[in-house]
Each structure stands twice: as structure tokens, then as C-alpha cells.
Amino acid sequence: MKLIAGLGNPGKKYDKTKHNTGFMALDHYLNKNNLNLDKDKFDGLWTKQKINGEDVIFLEPQTFMNDSGKSIAQVANFFKIAPEDILVIHDDMDMPIGKIRIRANGKSGGHNGIKSIMACLGTNNFNRLKIGIRHPQKESVVSWVLSPFNDEQQKLMNAAFEVSENVINDFIKGKNAQYLMNQYN
């Protein structure tokens, strides 16, 4: 069984903000595949689907970014999903807008959602699909991550969401982290 979680903040106020890149990428995948998050439990919105013979849970924690780990750990524990079968999609300020990078483990890079997941799972051994939102030049980090993309940036993000769809499909097919890194980094 696989768990694919997009990170973001719940509520209309945050819908199109940079920090909701994980939600946006997962929503893109779900929309393209005529799926929706039809369950509200485990502090998140989720659905369980059978894809290519694999049980897959898609999850958007509704705990706010800094507590994302609570929801992910509840789902992982309930369904007995190993950390290496988890893919977390999130924004990354250390990469240019729209750039994609796959990581199999590692540190949080200062991302509070990832810190929360590491604390709640008790490991850093889960996969990440990081999508760049770049670091703000002049404004505060909080203002930057809680602001929407402009039209030019949104085009780059839309292209990233198309690539992320392929990453998700390959992950579901059982491609390992090394394959994903070689293919998409």
C-alpha cells in the first residue's frame, strides 16, 4: 500500500498560496484522474483507490502545515504503511520556481511540515517530491509563502504539476527512489 500526501494549509484563505504547492500538485493529479478526496478522517481529507493493482491513499492533512505529521502518522499507523511507501509533496524555497527534486530521506531543509512528519513518524526515511517556489528576494518568508503565484510563475508551476503527475504514477508502479531521482532530478 502507498500513501501520497500533499502538504498545505486548509481553508479558502490559503487556496492558491505558494505554501499550498503540495495540495495543488495532488489536486492536479486527482483532477486528471477523475478522483476526489471523499473521506474526512485522520485530521485530513483522503481517499483510498486501487491503481494498477496497488492500494493507494491520497491525503491532504487539514492540520495546518506545521502539524502535517499528525495526519500522515495516523494514516500510516492505521493502514500499516511503511515510511518508504510514503511520498510527500511539498514546496521548497531553496529551488527555482517549478523545479522538481525527489529525495528518499534527509533533513527537513527548514520546512516545518517535513519537521512535523519526521517527528510524528520517528524517521526521515520517507520520499519527498519537492517543488521549487524560490526564496523571496525582498519580502518576508511568511509573506512570500502565503502569497499566490503571478501568471508567469503559475505557468512554471503548471508544468511542474504535469511532471509531478508522472512522478506519482511511477511511485505507484513501485519505482524506487533511486529510479525516481535518476528520472526526474
Nearest to 70 by CA among 160, 10, 145: 10
Q: Is 19 an annotated catalytic residue?
A: yes
Q: What is the β-pairing status of strands 86-92 and 100-103?
A: unpaired
Distance CA(106)–CA(50), nearest Å, equals 29
Q: Is 52 annotated as a binding residue?
A: no
> In the numeric block, which cell numbers belong to residue 104?
528518499
Residue 20 annotated as binding? no
Q: 158 labelled as ligand-binding?
A: no
Q: What residue type is 165 in one-letter code?
A: E
Identified catalytic residue from 19, 28, 90, 111 = 19
Q: Which residue has the cell 493493482?
A: 53
Query: Distance (Å, rounded) from C-alpha 93 to C-alpha 130?
Result: 9
Q: Is the CB of residue 59 less than 8 Å from the CB of residue 3?
A: yes
Is the alpha carbon torsion for 92, 75, 11, 166 positive or negative?
A: positive
Annotated binding site: 14, 64, 66, 112
By annotation, the residues acting in catalysis are 19
Residues at the binding site for tRNA are 14, 64, 66, 112
